[in-house]
Amino acid sequence: MIYLDYSANTPVDEAVLQRFCEVERNCPGNANSRHAAGTAAKAAIDAAAQSIARSLNVQPAEIIYTSGASEANNFAIKSIARLERHHGRHIISTPLEHSSVSGSLTALQEQGYEIDLVDIRQDGTVDLAHLKELLRPDTILVAVTAVDSELGVVQPVAEIAEMLKACPHCHFHVDATQAVGKLPVSFAGIDTMSLTAHKFYGLNGIGVLVKRRGLALEPLIHGGESTTLYRSGTPTVALACSLALALEKAVSELPARVEHIRALNARLRTGLAQYPKVRINSPDTAVPQILNLSVQNVKGTVFQRELDARGVCVSVKSACSSDGLPSRAVFAVSHDRRNALSSWRISLSHLTTEQEITDFMQAFDACYNALTQ
């Protein structure tokens, strides 16, 4: 099998898995309990929060553990909307967002909130001039993905944060799910930021919402205080510790990982350019881990199925998206519905080998010749 779907899920790093097992064995107590085992568990999860905070250059008190990025996105967006409803009900986002963001916005729209989507430039980035035009006195939230999962476009987060300084009641939420482990991430000027461990070689079932200190949010899950006031329930100590190590490795090993991946991406782009019906949708400035392409007049689902039959795993749209519809992200950039329907994604890792790229190109060639004749 050739696995080229690392943006959907990554295999857990062996050291991270060992950390999880070690903590799970050695910390049986509930971190909310007032006894020796509970105290030990609380110390472990507090140490994890301190490690995560160091990796992200934030404060431990700004860390809220969640079940993943989808929960973190729902929590931030819906809570900010409720918090600021007396100041306004206008929210701005983009057509590039993950379904946990767009779905949250749809739910709020049904409750009377007004949602505007900012225009996307040809290179996939937010049109900052249009964003400035959309901002109003009653705008309470701007929600933008740092790196989108389909094209790998890097958004101008710092520039947006600077623009929003002039809007006292407007908060800034950044979905950093596809950014962490792919490029350096900064929380400067941001109110809330989501991430999840399984995108950077951690385990499924644990994520983080980074919340600016001083920002009061309404809990999404009620039932008493846990590691924070904002999310009740028994803390998942071993998962938190494993996320902390996965994040530490993702940050410290980033330069070496990216150098390897960039070389693989360049090789793919060169090889795919030899096929006249191939269109590369990811801009040159996209993160090298993500390469989106279309094969003219061949639906992405059809090409994916043919590659899968040859042992190659790629994605059509985000793994959490509905099937049968054109990619919103690709359509936003190309304005071509057929091209968006034909699009699919290769996502690379530092674990991807040169031999896998060779084998992929052979499988691609066979599929291309079979489907474009």
Cα-to-chain-centroid distance, residue 37: 35
Among 26, 11, 79, 49, smallest CA distance to 244 is for 49
Tokens of 239: 């998962």
Query: Do 181 and 330 have their domain in common?
Result: no
Q: Which of 234, 153, 149, 235 is nearest to 194 (CA)?
A: 149
- State how many domains the chain has: 2
Which residues are catalytic, by number? 320
Which residue segment(s) compose the domain that 263 sits in? 2-9+254-371
Q: Is the same domain home to 292 and 207? A: no
Q: Which two tokens stand for residue 337?
A: 């519905």
* Assessment of whether the complete model's pTM goes beyond 0.75: yes
Same domain, 181 and 41: yes
Residue after which a domain boundary falls, among 236, 252, 268: 252
DSSP 193: E
What is the b/e burial string over 246-257, where b = at least 16 CB atoms within 10 angstroms of the residue's CB? bbbbbbeebeeb
Domain match, 247 and 216 both: yes
Residue 160 φ then ψ, to 5°: -65, -45
Q: What is the pLDDT of residues 285-340, one digit of tens each?
A: 999 999 999 999 999 999 999 999 999 999 997 555 556 688 889 999 988 999 99
- Residue 283 and residue 260: Cα distance in Å, rounded? 19
Residues 259 and 149 in one domain: no
Q: Which residue among 225, 252, 279 closes a domain?
A: 252
- Cα–Cα distance measured from residue 3 to residue 5, given in angstroms and rounded to the nearest whole number: 6
pLDDT in tens, 111-163: 999 999 999 999 999 999 999 999 999 999 999 999 999 999 999 999 999 99
Q: Do residues 144 and 248 share a domain?
A: yes
- Same-domain status, 19 and 71: yes
